[in-house]
Amino acid sequence: MNLHAMRAIYLFEMARTWRTLMQSIIAPVISTSLYFVVFGAAIGNRITEVGGISYGAFIVPGLIMLSLLTQSISNASFGIYFPKFTGTIYELLSAPVSYLEITLSYVGAAATKSIILAAIILLTATFFVPLRIDHPVWMLLFLILTALTFSLFGFIIGIWADGFEKLQIVPLLIVTPLTFLGGSFYSIDMLPPFWQTVTLFNPVVYLISGFRWSFYSLADVNVYVSLGMTLLFLALCLVTVAWIFRTGYRLRP
């Protein structure tokens, strides 16, 4: 394995984060803090507790997951799309670097950025609401698996996209709405039975439910089902990336 090449790609992608600190870190943290203020103050006055947890604390895992999903996709998709846009992707593909090493480098950098951002948001949340983490190992497991999975998903989007506008289609029109409808700000037990059943077809429900369980031992879905769905989506992304590199889809002229 060409560790020097992987390290070079990884460090280059991480350096881009520090060059765009306002966009990569500060802006998402400020946006999430506004969610705490708006939802905690406006809705928290009407819904004081959910499952014995204060509403402000209840929404913290959902807000972290919202930022984690969107930033993982954004970081990974832009990271691989920009070499395509500039034409340097062909130099990378012709270099003595395997497809696996390329994927691990870009996805690893994107996941690292997202995990750092999630940690900052978690720290920021402690200034607004009292938090506890009942299962820290499970919390880290869900955090890392979700970051890797959606960084892979973003990597796929970056290869598929043939314009900057397409980089935003999936995060804005699909992932963000699914996250809002996936129990970020409410428990699906609060919905009528029909809509509870419909909501279970939303894959983001399982991610948020498992992540919230790691904080408060409170979940809408069994934690092992949540873990299984996360691993399933990860496997689907891995298979898709393998197919892309085997066929050269959107990589070869």
Question: In this predicted model, what pLDDT tens digit does every residue of 205-218 receive, in sequence order?
Answer: 999 999 999 999 99
Asked if residue 148 has pLDDT above 90, the reply is yes
Per-residue confidence band for 40, with pLDDT thresholds at 50, 70 and 90? low
Per-residue confidence band for 45, with pLDDT thresholds at 50, 70 and 90? low
Per-residue confidence band for 233, with pLDDT thresholds at 50, 70 and 90? very high
Long-range contacts of 15-18 (CB under 8 A, 24+ apart): 16/79, 17/75, 17/113
* C-alpha to C-alpha distance for 120 and 46, rounded to whole angstroms: 28
Amino acid 209: pLDDT: 94
For residue 245, list its beta bridge partners. none
* Tokens 């949540």 found at: 226
Q: Among 226, 52, 26, which residue's Cα sits nearest to residue 146?
A: 226
**Highest mean pLDDT, choosing among 71-80, 120-129, 225-234:** 225-234
Asked if residue 29 has pLDDT above 70, the reply is yes
| Mean predicted confidence (pLDDT) in 229-235 | 95
Amino acid 69: pLDDT: 92
| Mean predicted confidence (pLDDT) in 85-110 | 87
Pinpoint the alpha helices (H) of the chain: 3-19, 21, 27-38, 55-58, 60-86, 89-94, 99-125, 136-160, 164-170, 176-180, 193-199, 203-216, 223-247
| Mean predicted confidence (pLDDT) in 74-86 | 89
Q: Is 19 exposed, middle or buried, given 0-12, 13-18 or 19+ CB atoms closer than 10 A?
A: exposed
Kindly state the percentage of the chain with pLDDT values over 70.
96
DSSP per-residue letters across 159-201:
HH-SSHHHHHHHIIIIIHHHHHTTTSSS-GGGS-HHHHHHHTT
Question: In this predicted model, what pLDDT tens digit does every residue of 182-201 receive, in sequence order?
Answer: 888 888 888 888 888 989 99
Asked if residue 46 has pLDDT above 80, the reply is no
Asked if residue 230 has pLDDT above 80, the reply is yes
Per-residue confidence band for 65, with pLDDT thresholds at 50, 70 and 90? very high
Amino acid 163: pLDDT: 82
Segments making up each domain of the chain, as ranges: 3-247
Name every residue whose Cβ is closer than 8 Å to that of residue 79 and which is 6 or more positions away in sequence.
Answer: 13, 16, 106, 109, 110, 155, 158
Amino acid 91: pLDDT: 83
Q: Which residue has the higher pLDDT, 133 or 162?
A: 133
- Reported pTM: 0.91
